[in-house]
Structure 1
Amino acid sequence: MDQQGMVKRRLAVLVGCNYPNTKNELHGCVNDVLAMKETLLTRFGFKQSDMEVLTDEPESKVKPTGANIKAALRRMVDKAQTGSGDVLFFHYSGHGTRIPSVKPAHPFKQDEAIVPCDFNLITDIDFRELVNQLPKGTSFTMLSDSCHSGGLIDKEKEQIGPYSSSDRSPDMETTTTAITSRALPFKEVLDHLSSLTGISTSDFGTHLLELFGDDAGLKFRLPTMDLMDLLEKMRAREKHMDAGILLSGCQADETSADVGGSSGKAYGAFSNAIQTVLEENKGALKNKELVIMARDVLERLGFHQHPCLYCSDQNADATFLSQP
């Protein structure tokens, strides 16, 4: 309960995309979210009834499409109550990508996005808009084990960012283990969308609107002037509502590793590092501590990725998922 005696709810959406039987297939993403589900239940006080798990396993009834993921996130936010101190958590394991920025002020930069199983991209603006809808006093923690995941909540403050160019990761120790990147280059995503629409254009928005209509991301649905207006409104709200906490599997310009496959249990390197840190430290950990320790685990194992933390100064020192 919070100081006013209101019951604090713990709500979660867990998404794992392995893209089975495609050229983009991964192996550890579903395992990542199932392991996290068990951790949330046994350690952090979450209830089964307050979680939604979306995977693209053949037997899954609800697939992790862009529309389904956003709908699940919206349901989670709608359940949160003002002043309750509710804890919201989103774990995503799957491919990530970077696309040319559609922000009017940054036409030559790149923006980050996750890649649902139907390639209906969810971008940093979509996550920013979601966070800005949170009731006062609520927290939203996003753990993204995907490539280019640094900065996935637009305008969130960088607390633990890129290593300098002089830093060097050690050579991979586990050379016998299959390592797959969780990155989908811009051209591959564009080629896939083009094959579905049959339209010859390099404009992402055209393809996404043709395929998904109103379920496409905000960046692709809004005219330039409306997007500028939305961004200005978001900036105004960010000063008062900065409840987003992003734990990214790597820097915005890095890839995240998917480990294993045919033999042995597959997993995401970052998700596994988080689980390792939690197992080795039974007490409550600050968000900043958790990310630093996960970096140490990955460096020790020889992975060339550097997890980052984006959130307010207050949330950097807050306890991960408000562990009792």
Structure 2
Amino acid sequence: MVRKKALIIGINYFGTDNELGGCINDCDNVRNFLVNDRGFSGTSHDMVVMADVPENEGTPFYPTGANILAAIKWLVTWNQPGDILWLSYSGHGSQVRDPDRSTGFSDTICPVDFAENGQITSEILHRSIVTPMNPQCRLTILFDCCHSGSAAELPYVYRPDADGNVNMVDTIKKGLGLVHAAGDLLEGGFSIEKLDDAKMLLGGATDFFNGLHHRRNQEVGEDGLALENFEEHWETEGKDVWMFSGCADDQTSADTSIAGAATGAMSWVFIATMREYPEQSYINVLQNTRQELAKKYSQIPQLSCGGEYDLDQNLLL
């Protein structure tokens, strides 16, 4: 028998300079959507809701970093083939300094105790969520936070443009493409402008490769780039993971008010889109959320996958 499990996290950071208004409302909205529209059980055996409300303090449901990682372990382990899993997070997303990345930063999410005990990096999230997953289960992730595009470091990323066309932003292929573009640019004559443009392209490629954050010792070419060899071959893990994120890595995600209630824009739009069209393909969901968000917000939603999957199949939830 197929089991459905869900972990829903919302953090408002009450009483701090970082306070948000809509993240716990997002929890309630997501829970109601999963139970009422998608057949999830709301019992504690199958669904964990974590929020920084007073009654949760001192319990496993208070969203500290340690509690979040423990709940993620509950979600992705002890599952049977065919189980359907859900993970959503509404709260602050940020970046921390990371000397191993050419950008100098790593994307993070911020537990309620992040000021005391630190943030959770995208690499930790990947190793906690994706790596231990049963490949015969399907996990859908919804991240409504800033800098969320690669929050779980899934290797295949899709982003819609203003016209609804969806393009793959595969980090490996994109990095190689930038290298080739830089080489093509310098063919046929030299100029300072061309050299500057080529340096910019190569710098972008370095960001892509280093941003994968899991290289192993290897030969490095004259351009400083290490291609294709990775300590963790996350692009070949083949885990059935689909993540909708509210924005790209360099964008912020709106905390807004809809129908008089504070909420995250991406969470609201995702649920509204799924309720209006319950049987949608993954690419349709991405296009429709992009269309709705574009009416009021500049953030661009993304879809990231654990493999090169058929985006025309219906969202399984």
Paired position in structure 1 for 2:64: 65
Deviation at 1:16, TM superposition (A): 0.2
Contact map agreement 1:162 1:251 (CA 8 A) in 2? no
Deviation at 1:317, TM superposition (A): 3.3
Unaligned runs of 5+ in 2: 164-213, 218-228
| Structure 2 residue 85 is the aligned partner of structure 1 residue 88 | yes
Deviation at 1:72, TM superposition (A): 0.4
Paired position in structure 2 for 1:213: none
Paired position in structure 2 for 1:158: 157
Contact map agreement 1:132 1:238 (CA 8 A) in 2? no
Q: Over aligned residue pairs, what C-alpha RMSD do you find?
A: 2.5
Q: Deviations over 1:60-92 (max 9, x none)?
A: 2431011101100101111212xx221111100
Rg: which structure is higher?
2
Taking the aligned partners of 1:270 and 1:234, their CA distance within structure 2 comes to 31
| Structure 2 residue 301 is the aligned partner of structure 1 residue 307 | yes
Match of 1:14, SS? Answer: strand
Q: Which amino acid in 2 is paired with 1:249?
A: G
Paired position in structure 2 for 1:176: none
Deviation at 1:139, TM superposition (A): 1.8
Taking the aligned partners of 1:315 and 1:45, their CA distance within structure 2 comes to 24
Paired position in structure 1 for 2:47: 51
Paired position in structure 2 for 1:294: 289
Q: Give the TM-score taking structure 1 as reference length.
A: 0.70
Alignment of 1:213-228 (within 5 A): none
Q: Which amino acid in 2 is paired with 1:297?
A: E
Deviation at 1:315, TM superposition (A): 5.5
Given candidates 98, 102, 124, the residue that maps to 1:101 is 98
Q: Quick one: structure 1 residues 133 and 28, their matched pair in 2 at CA, closer, same or farther if it must change by over 3 Å?
A: same
Taking the aligned partners of 2:248 and 2:86, their CA distance within structure 1 comes to 20
Alignment of 1:189-204 (within 5 A): none
Contact map agreement 1:76 1:88 (CA 8 A) in 2? yes
Taking the aligned partners of 2:237 and 2:260, their CA distance within structure 1 comes to 47
Alignment of 1:180-259 (within 5 A): 232-235=230-233, 238-259=235-256
Deviation at 1:287, TM superposition (A): 2.0
Q: Count matched residues.
A: 247
Taking the aligned partners of 1:240 and 1:96, their CA distance within structure 2 comes to 25
Q: Which amino acid in 1 is paired with 2:271?
A: Q
Given candidates 13, 26, 29, the residue that maps to 2:23 is 29
Q: Which amino acid in 1 is paired with 2:121?
A: T
Taking the aligned partners of 1:69 and 1:240, their CA distance within structure 2 comes to 23
Q: Which amino acid in 2 is paired with 1:158?
A: V
Given candidates 271, 276, 285, the residue that maps to 1:275 is 271
Q: Quick one: structure 1 residues 162 and 296, their matched pair in 2 at CA, closer, same or farther if it must change by over 3 Å?
A: closer
